[in-house]
Structure 1
Amino acid sequence: MDIRQRLSLNLRRYRHDAGWSQEEFAERAGIHRTYVSDLERGARNPTITIIERLAKALSVNAGALLD
């Protein structure tokens, strides 16, 4: 499994655990909903800055999104 696949699975899992829609997650992270969708499908390569924003919104360490 490549790093994009790990990121997409972890994002989806943490978002579901939080009970958030993609729209709510995107709002909390300060990014567009379609970008969240693309990330969860493994269609985008986010910058480290975006990974940090996603992690902060989910209250996890950025490394947890890539494990």
Structure 2
Amino acid sequence: MDMSLVAAIMAAKAGAVQQQVATSVLKSNLDSQKSAVETLLGGAQQTLSLANVGAGVGGNLNISA
């Protein structure tokens, strides 16, 4: 077998492994971001009810900063 062909096959396999690792890392990052957003939002059920908070909580929110 020609050495350049062997080198090309090895490079292709290394590229495939790098792609798999990158995909795995990307999925992990997306899962982590999803978890962070869900934590910040408090879940859909909790955001719909402010019955258990004190008076004035959630009334004013300054988003300009």
TM-score by length of 2: 0.29
Larger % of helix: which? 1
Return the index of the structure with the highest Cα Rg: 2
TM-score by length of 1: 0.28
